[in-house]
Structures are given as C-alpha cells and as structure tokens.
Structure 1
Amino acid sequence: MPDSPTPNETRCVEIDLSTVDPAVTEDDERDFLRINDTTLSPDQIERIVAPTRTYPRQEYVLATHWHPEHVPMELLKKRLDTLYPNRIDELIIPTQHNVLMEYNGYHGVEVDCYSSGFNRKVQLLLHFGQNFDLDRADVLKSMLRHTHRYRASQLFEYLDALAEPAFEDRRQRAAGRTNAEEELVAFVRLQAAKIKNLILAHEAELSDDVYKNKLVRNFLDALRSRFGDRTINRAQVYAKAVKDLVKEEFSLSYFYRATEVIEEARALGAGIVIPHPEQFWPILLADYDVDGIEVWNPQSQLYTEFLINVVNRRNRMGWHGKRPILVFMGDDCHMSEKTRPIAEQDPEKATREIGLQPAWHDFSIRKSLIINGVSRRKVIDEYRARLSG
C-alpha cells in the first residue's frame, strides 16, 4: 500500500498560469456551446431509451420527485417501459425545479421557498391530478416564474464570488476549507470570468435552464482534456466550497414563504410532499398542511427508519385528522446527467432512475414499513385518490 501523501504533496497541483489564456478562446467557445446544447444526438437518445439495467420484478412505480430537464417526455416514456416492463400500476409526476411540467395528465413542480419559522430555504413538491385546470393557475405560475428567475440569479452571485475582487474573502475561506493553493484559485477565477463573458455573448440564444450553478461544474469538466483530471478534480472541490458559501449567504427575502406556496397550491387542489427532511429537520415540527414526507432519497438515507416512525406516530396521535401523512421516497433523478459524456458524469447521480428507490426493499426498512402498514401500492392508491379529489 503506497504511503499517504504529505501536506505539501496534497497541495501540489501543476498549473502553469502563463499557459492559460485569460481571453475566451475558440476551445472555450466550443465547450460552452456543447455543454449548453440541449439537442440530443442519436447516441444520447439511445442512452435514454435503452437503460443498461432493467427491473422486471418491480410491479409498482411511484415517482413523485424527479427532474426531466431537457429530455422529451416521449423518450422518458420509452425508458420507463424498458425499466419496468412488468409494472402493474404507476403514479409518475415530474417535479422540475420551479417549473411546472406534465406527464400523462399529472403536473408537478419542486418549489424553492422560505420558512420564516427557522429562517432558511426549504423545498416543497407540488403535485396536481388529471383534473387540474392549468388556466386557473395564473398566480401559481407567476410565483414559480419569480422563484425560477431569483433562484437563477444565484449563478451570477456564484460566478462573482469566484471571479470578482469584492469577493476575495469568500475565495480565501473556500481555499482554506479545501487546502487550495493560490494558482488553483487563480485558475478557477479565470474560468469563471470566461463563463460570465460567454453568457453575455450568447444570452439571446441560451435557454432559461442554463442558469444553474451546475454550469460551473460542467464547464470545468469540459476542460479535462486540456488541463488533466488532477487539476480539474481539485478545481471542482474548491469551486464547490465557494458555491456552498454562496448558498449559505444567499438572501432568502425574495423567496415566497412556504405557507404562501401551500395556500396557493391547496386552492388549486394540489397534493404537497416535503422532500429532503434530513436537510432541514425543523420542517418536521412546523406542522405544515402537507400530504406526505419523503423518508428516503439518494441524498437523505441516514434516518429513514426514524422518519417512518415519526410519520406513524404523528398519524396515531391524529395530528392530521382523517388524512394521514403518507410515506414517500424520492429517486431525485436528474435526466440531464445521463446525456452528458460518460467521462463527465457524476457516477452517483448517473445511477439514479425514475421510480427506483432501493430502500423499499431494504430488509430493515421494509420491516418498519410492514409494521406501519406502508407499501408503494397503498401510497399510489391513496395519493392518486387525493389528487383526483
């Protein structure tokens, strides 16, 4: 087994800044346009419609937390037919971030909002049944447009934090957290400045979906062939630390309150589910008017059994009357990850599938589900009934 690297070796990333052109090059332009091109090639289409694994034994598909992004629904339907060829029943509702989307008559969205009770951003999943009247949803659609635009503004704050002199403090804090040397910080600063210039140059032709923090990750990944995996891996770690600081300090005052979103959604007949409770525990104490709590997803796996028991205890105590809180699991699948070049994919995110939640079959978790009378079939039946309401 090789010796562990010394601190000096850990900090050693070979970057000759004299070889990094501070101006936007033809290669930069090509990479930027490629990573933001939502046109699917024949190879990408084949990867969408022909998944490498299938699940012929899964009879019920419950998918209420997933993100189609730029992948057309007709391709996703083919993928689902291949993934679950023997399914008996399904409830599949897309939940794009702050954008209402439809699949087989069901509409859904994942909304960023603000919980004043504990002063932080939270998210809510809104689901609408097949009798949903989209024409009545003008207020909700306006709220979502505002939220989407404000959430997208975080990208520019992120780029400023990486590149602008006024944010040197953030860069230094992130460098300290990740042991990043000055050359690496300078390298990422140059790339962030290029991204800003490229956005301005192509603003008229870019889709709204481009304005997300992952643009920085994708652009850095596109540089691997020029600067090598070691440099880009370290750049990604440092850039993520800056992103985390930006998210920690991003103003919440322009988000709608969770209670406002819930009130408007309920007026339209929506079902509401709390995702990621592990990431903001106090929301479980807020007693919001919701239909369910997500007890598992790929980012929240540590406390699934505990959350199942929390839901069951609240139901036994009758906190929610005749409409008990339902147990949900979310795959949190982002389909754009599967369209990226294999070498640039996040391996963990790339393995997620719509409707695939392995926790339903985990023996210890399954024991808690059985004791509490929970199954995918029952949740599908109950929630569909509520949405048809």
Structure 2
Amino acid sequence: MPATPITPLRPAARPAWTAPDLDTVPVEPTEADLERFTRVISIDLCPEQEARAVTPGQAYPKQRRVLALHWHPEFVPMPLVERRLEALFPNAEERLIIPTQHNELTTFGDYAGVEVDCYASGFNQKIQLLLHFRKERLEQAHTLRQMLRHTHKYRSSQLFAFMAAILESHPEIVGQAAAQTGADETTVEYVRRNVARIDALLAVRWDAVPRDSMKNKLLANWFDTLRAEHSDPFIDRVQTYLRAVKALVKADFSLDYFYRASEVIEEARALGAGIVIPHPEQFWPVLLAEYDVDGWEVWNPQSSRYTGFLVSVLHERNRCRPRSGRPLMVFMGDDTHMGEKVKDPAFQNPEKAAREIGVQPWGDMLVRKQLITAGMDRAQVMAEYRARLDG
C-alpha cells in the first residue's frame, strides 16, 4: 500500500520551547510507534508524493542543453524523474543525464552511473568517485557489482554504529556530541529512548524493512514526525545533537569497508567508464594523486567556494600535460536528492530541496569568464564526454 503522507500537526499556539516530561516518554515500542515506523521506512509513494516528484517549483524554458552527471534518484522511480525533467526543461534539444546513486548502479536512458565510496591510501581518507557508462557495458560489470555490494553495506552498518553510539555503547561519543551542541540530559535521554524503540522495531520487523531505508537519515526522519508532539525548537535541538553524533561516528568509521580508489578506477576503466572526482574541495589532496580520471567537479551546492580556483588549476594542469594525454574536463554537479523532493515540505531540508537535476551555474557571468579563459563550456564538455563514453 502507498505510504500515507506525514502531515505535521501544528497547534495555533505553542510555547517557543517545550521539553518533554521523560516520565511520558516510553522505553518500549507503542502502537503509535509501529505506525510511525511503517511510514518512516516506506519507499512507496502516495499520489501526493508523486505529484511533488514531477512538479518542479520553476521551469527553465531557455535552457537548450541539459548536463547532469551527479544526482541521486534514491527511491523515486525513473519515469517520474523523466516527467520532472520534461517540466524543468521543456525546450531542451540535447541531454546527457546519468544518475549516480551511492554505491548502486542505476540506469537512465542509454547510460548508467554510480557514486562510489572508496579509500585513497596516499592520504588515508575516504573519497568518492563518479563512474559513468554506456548501459550495455554493465553486462560485463560482474566484479564491479560485487565491489559495490560490499561497499553498499557500509551505509547500513554505519546506521547501526550510529544507533549503538546513542544507546551508550560509546558514551564518549555521546558526551562529546552533547558538549558540542549544548544538549542537556533531557535531550540526550529523550533521543536514547526513541532510538531504543527504533532498534526494537528493526529487530521484529527486519524482514519487511526496505534496504533503501537503512541509512542514517532514518533517525532524522523519525524525529521529524515527532514535531507534532513537541515544539519545533526542541526537535531542532534533537536534530543538531543527532548530526553531531553522526559526524563523530563517521569520523571514526573503519576505512576497511572500502576498496582503494586505484582498484575502483582500474575496474571502471576496464569497462570503458568515464570517471569524475566530485566536490574535491572536501578532500583537497585527491587532486595531487593524479588519478586516471576524466575531470573534476568544480562546482557543487556543497562545494562552490573555490570554483574559479579549481578551473584555473585544472587549466594549468592541462597546459602542462603531455601532448598524447587527454585533457581534464570541467564538470558541475547539482547533487540533487530526489528523495528530498517527495517529503512533506514541512520536513524538507530547504537547501537540499532547492537543488534541481541539470541546474548548474554554467551561465553565471563570473563562472563563464573563467571557463572561457580555460577554453571550456557546457556544450564542449557534453560533446567530449559523450564521445569518451561512446568510444
């Protein structure tokens, strides 16, 4: 059955700050918790959610070329994504659109893609790579699929590490997160009791839980549904504390889950893949590794401060390359998450919800000036990258 949309119940008058009485917060799951859990883990879309998926807030009728090589369909079906794109770009004449789900190959049209978590041994850090393919080449991608299945387990296992930390298997993480965010004992205990109930429900409902739900955001989505029972400021404080715990867990997460970047690149190149380094300003040393890639993502909603600098560095790298070498290309990633689009607007992350597949600042005056200096533009990138993928 389609999931019932979660509608926040907001009283007309509510105190600015309402902390719960812990005596009223259960430790064991209730019937209401089971209903809430079912909604939170559901990946089925109700008609209202489908309408959100296909209806953008704005259209771009003047945009003739659509390039989108870094976006996440999540659990939104591709036919709905196609309808959204038609509404976004009603006059598009040329498109190169490839989805990049985290550690999971997905296909759109003639192409397939994935965003892979991997390990850069040279500087002992997790990085990410975007891989793009002609879809027919996936018939030979047996080894890559096995590598991705192994890596995909990282996200669900990280959820359990996240929950374990909150349940005080790692009290030092809880203490540090509380100190960083100013979370008081009531907030910490309220979160712990809720996570204990989620843990219990996962145990008894495990066979019915979609694997796409087993992500860190499961906890955030659960607490968002509790805004109807508590004040927004209190749940906002809960979410701030959760983010701090998550960051500490991720920082301490073992790199043994990942294949080395060089191994991923070697396997991808054997399949004729294109390879792009996304949002490199989040891990600068990757640019020094001189990996065999097709280009860098110089702009991303999360990484836009150094666009001009990255374009200039990439241009200089190309000037100094051997004549026989292929030039590095400039890419931009909108990093759209379609799952954010179908949420009730009251629960959306406004920054993430504003992203759109294929909407990037190629025409921005300052960015365009830098691209012209480097001899690059969207049309050139589309033509060159398509030729590499099809070759």
- Provide the TM-score with structure 2 as the length reference: 0.94
> Partner residue of 1:141?
145
> Partner residue of 1:36?
41
> Partner residue of 2:115?
110
> Partner residue of 2:131?
126
User: Which has the higher mean CA deviation after the structures are superposed, 283-292 or 121-130?
Assistant: 121-130
Shift of 1:221: 0.6
SS at match of 2:218: helix
Whether the 8 Å CA contact 1:62–1:92 is kept in 2: the answer is yes
Whether the 8 Å CA contact 2:133–2:272 is kept in 1: the answer is yes
> Partner residue of 2:157?
153
> Partner residue of 2:321?
318
Deviations 1:256-291 (A, max 9, x none): 000000000000100000001010000000000000
One-letter amino acid of the structure 2 residue matched with residue 43 of structure 1: E
Deviations 1:54-81 (A, max 9, x none): 0111111110000001111111111101
Shift of 1:100: 0.2
Looking at structure 2, the residues matched to 368 and 115 of structure 1 have their Cα atoms a distance apart, in angstroms, of: 30
Shift of 1:16: 1.3
Tell me which of 14, 18, 21 is aligned to 2:23: 18
Whether the 8 Å CA contact 1:291–1:325 is kept in 2: the answer is yes
SS at match of 1:374: coil
Shift of 1:97: 0.3
Shift of 1:113: 0.5
Shift of 1:308: 0.6
Tell me which of 250, 254, 261 is aligned to 2:253: 250
After TM superposition, where is structure 1 displaced by more than 4 Å over at least 4 residues in a row? Answer: none
Say if 1:321 and 1:248 are closer, same or farther in 2 by CA, change over 3 A: farther
Shift of 1:220: 0.8
One-letter amino acid of the structure 1 residue matched with residue 105 of structure 2: L
SS at match of 1:295: strand
Tell me which of 282, 285, 296 is aligned to 2:285: 282
Looking at structure 2, the residues matched to 271 and 173 of structure 1 have their Cα atoms a distance apart, in angstroms, of: 41
Tell me which of 193, 201, 211 is aligned to 2:196: 193
Shift of 1:14: 2.2
Tell me which of 291, 295, 298 is aligned to 2:294: 291
> Partner residue of 1:227?
230
Q: Which structure 2 residue ranges, 5 or more long, are not aligned?
A: 1-16
Is 1:370–2:386 an aligned residue pair?
no
SS at match of 2:129: strand
Say if 1:168 and 1:319 are closer, same or farther in 2 by CA, change over 3 A: farther
Looking at structure 1, the residues matched to 311 and 159 of structure 2 have their Cα atoms a distance apart, in angstroms, of: 36
Tell me which of 347, 353, 359 is aligned to 1:350: 353
Shift of 1:206: 1.4
Tell me which of 70, 75, 87 is aligned to 1:70: 75
Deviations 1:231-263 (A, max 9, x none): 110000001000000010000012100000000
Tell me which of 45, 65, 87 is aligned to 1:60: 65
Shift of 1:154: 0.4
Looking at structure 2, the residues matched to 203 and 228 of structure 1 have their Cα atoms a distance apart, in angstroms, of: 31
> Partner residue of 2:305?
302
Tell me which of 80, 84, 88 is aligned to 1:79: 84
SS at match of 1:223: helix
Say if 1:321 and 1:208 are closer, same or farther in 2 by CA, change over 3 A: farther
Is 1:214–2:217 an aligned residue pair?
yes
Say if 1:321 and 1:151 are closer, same or farther in 2 by CA, change over 3 A: farther
Looking at structure 2, the residues matched to 14 and 338 of structure 1 have their Cα atoms a distance apart, in angstroms, of: 30
One-letter amino acid of the structure 2 residue matched with residue 116 of structure 1: S
Tell me which of 184, 187, 190 is aligned to 1:184: 187
Tell me which of 169, 175, 178 is aligned to 1:175: 178
One-letter amino acid of the structure 1 residue matched with residue 382 of structure 2: I
Is 1:269–2:296 an aligned residue pair?
no
Q: Which structure 1 residue ranges, 5 or more long, are not aligned?
A: 1-11
Whether the 8 Å CA contact 1:73–1:103 is kept in 2: the answer is yes
CA RMSD of aligned residues (A): 1.2
Whether the 8 Å CA contact 1:51–1:82 is kept in 2: the answer is yes
Looking at structure 2, the residues matched to 263 and 193 of structure 1 have their Cα atoms a distance apart, in angstroms, of: 43
- Provide the TM-score with structure 1 as the length reference: 0.94
SS at match of 1:154: helix
One-letter amino acid of the structure 1 residue matched with residue 327 of structure 2: P
Shift of 1:163: 1.1
Query: How many correspondences in the alignment?
Result: 375
Say if 1:276 and 1:320 are closer, same or farther in 2 by CA, change over 3 A: farther
Deviations 1:352-378 (A, max 9, x none): 111111x22222111101111211111
Shift of 1:13: 6.0
SS at match of 2:257: coil
Looking at structure 2, the residues matched to 96 and 114 of structure 1 have their Cα atoms a distance apart, in angstroms, of: 18
Say if 1:320 and 1:120 are closer, same or farther in 2 by CA, change over 3 A: farther
One-letter amino acid of the structure 2 residue matched with residue 126 of structure 1: L
Say if 1:196 and 1:184 are closer, same or farther in 2 by CA, change over 3 A: same
Whether the 8 Å CA contact 1:161–1:168 is kept in 2: the answer is yes
Say if 1:319 and 1:336 are closer, same or farther in 2 by CA, change over 3 A: farther
Shift of 1:197: 1.4
Looking at structure 2, the residues matched to 313 and 191 of structure 1 have their Cα atoms a distance apart, in angstroms, of: 53
Shift of 1:301: 0.9
Whether the 8 Å CA contact 1:129–1:384 is kept in 2: the answer is no
Whether the 8 Å CA contact 2:155–2:216 is kept in 1: the answer is no
